[in-house]
A = this chain, B = another copy of it.
Amino acid sequence: MLYRRPMTTARKLLDLDALAARIPDGAHLAIPADYSGVAMAATRALVRRRARGLRLVTVPTSGMQADILIGAGCVAAIETSGVGLGEHGLAPRFTAAAKSGSLHIIEATCPAIHAALQASEKGVPFMPLRGLLGSDLLAQRPDWKVIDNPFAAAGDPLVLLPAVRPDIALFHARWADRAGNVWIGRRRELATMAHAAARTLVTVEALFDGDLLADESTASGTLPSLYVSAAAVAERGAWPLPLPGLYAADDAAIRRYAQEARSDSGFARYLDETLRAAA
């Protein structure tokens, strides 16, 4: 084969702060669940550059990432099926912001977020979803519509969810190659996020020396460069969260965060230390 994939690294490969600068204040930002590869180093860069007014959509839940962004004042609104620290309990800054009414929380349920992203992925205005009826989520979501299933003989109400099209998807993965292909393994919700979002920014553990699409063993877990706007290398970029398959969560670090973030002053101290260490 004579063909070599485009050498677009120069255009697509940024440093971490340049990547974070691509996320403007007010952006509608999709972020993955803790088990998917969370861009924690990029999150700290966002806090450093004092991002404001972000509208998060968690795919479908979040933990420490959303909590830090909320605590640092970066977030205006969050659409989520759940924010918590897993084994370490409630997410303190999310909980405090919810109680004080300072955060606009758009309640969702996991399959609704997946389906609404799939609607954008497919270029359709909505997706149907079973369930939901009789829940107070519907009252919280005037954008969700109940119709009668047009294929049923008698009344069969079901919910239609409007497409969710984030401005930007942000996540952390193991590799990017020089063409901008990104290896996500079996974390396919990252592909859906990227397909649905207008732009996708990725941090990776390392550059992959070769073409991720050239070999079937890597191609089947690869998000093609078609969807990737820019990437930055951030070694251990999910820390203290895990990058499943490569490293586990740093349990002690998350526990310490869970304790510190319970108070405003503790969170301020944690943030200050973290950002100074990262600078």
Residues of A with Cβ closer than 8 Å to B?
115, 118, 122-130, 145, 147, 149-152, 156, 158, 160, 162, 184-186, 216-221, 245
A9 to chain B minimum Cβ distance, whole angstroms, is: 23
Pair A216/B186 contact, Cβ less than 8 Å: yes
Specify how many copies of this chain sit in the oligomer. 2
Which B residues lie within 8 Å of A149 (CB)?
125-126
Pair B125/A151 contact, Cβ less than 8 Å: yes
Pair A158/B125 contact, Cβ less than 8 Å: yes
Partner of A185, one of B125, B127, B162, B216: B216
Partner of A128, one of B125, B156, B219, B245: B125
CA distance A5 to B40 in the complex (A): 34
Partner of A220, one of B115, B122, B126, B186: B186
Pair A220/B185 contact, Cβ less than 8 Å: yes
A243 to chain B minimum Cβ distance, whole angstroms, is: 11
Which B residues lie within 8 Å of A217 (CB)?
217-218, 221
CA distance A190 to B158 in the complex (A): 28
